[in-house]
Amino acid sequence: MEFKFSVENQEKIERIIQKYPEKQAAVMPLLYLAQEQHGFISVEAMREISQILEMPETDVLGVVTFYSMFHQKEIGKHHIQVCTNVSCMLRGGMQIFDAVKSKLGINNGEVTSDKLFSLEEVECMGSCGTAPMIAVNEDYFENLSTEKAIEILNSLK
């Protein structure tokens, strides 16, 4: 499947490249754009980016695999991230993770069959002072209890 950036994104790309003295530096922002546009980063998207930035495809792939926020597979409409690192763990983060897991019926890294939800156990999100927390896509939900976390899931359509 071919991948082309939307006209709107092409304009954004022009501006992004201007921020850096060398084109390759724009690879992370461009990967974000591709991911936003397409839901995940396909091989075709990487090829397109490598052509725009005049860098080897393998280097683009190297960047994609290095960073945990770039997804090479489709994720759910609601990507649920549960922090289980220490500050969250001390306040019930592990229990929340288990509850979310059984509620969604999927394991870490999986997507529900209706593609509505995906689940990821994440490292510290910088919410230790408002722990425990989950993030749904880009939004943080903090100071949670297991009940509140499940309520949030119930509210997502």
Partner 1 sequence: MEKIVLPEIENLHLIDTYVANGGYDTAKSALAKSSDEIIDIVKKSGLRGRGGAAFSTGLKWSFIPKGSGITKYLCINGDESEPGSFKDRQVFEFNPHQLIEGIVITCHAIHAKKAYLYIRGEYHKWIKLMQKALDDAYERGFVGEAMKAKYGTDFSCDIYIHKGAGAYICGEESSLMNSIEGKRGYPRVKPPFPAQVGLWGAPTIINNVETIANIPPIIKKGWEWFSAIGEQKHPGTLLFGVSGHVNKPGVYELPSGTLLTDIIYNYAGGVPGNKKIKCVIPGGSSMPPLRGDQLEGIKMDAESLRAAGSAIGTGGIMVMDEDTDLVKVLARLSKFYYHESCGQCTPCREGTGWMVKLLNRIVRGEGSKSDIDLLVSVASNIEGNTVCALGEAAAWPVRFMITRFRDEFEKQVSDHVKLEVKNKVHSMRATLNPLASVEN
**Phi, psi angles (nearest 5°) of residue 122:** -115, 165
The entry of partner 1, ligand FES, none that residue 91 binds, CB within 5 to 8 Å by partner kind: partner 1
Residue 31 in the binding site for partner 1 (CB under 8 A): yes
Residue 96 in the binding site for ligand FES (CB under 6 A): no
Interacting residue with partner 1 among 43, 116, 128, 152 (CB under 8 A): 128
Residue 83 in the binding site for ligand FES (CB under 6 A): yes
Residue 123 in the binding site for partner 1 (CB under 8 A): yes
Q: Smallest distance from the beta carbon of 23 to partner 1, in angstroms?
A: 8
Q: How far apart are CA 134 and CA 9, in angstroms?
A: 30
Interacting residue with ligand FES among 25, 69, 86, 156 (CB under 6 A): 86
Please report, as ranges, the residues that interact with ligand FES according to CB under 6 A.
83, 85-88, 124-128, 131, 133
Residues within the interface to partner 1 (CB under 8 A)? 19-22, 24-29, 31-32, 53, 55, 59, 62-63, 66-70, 84-87, 89-91, 122-131, 135, 138-140
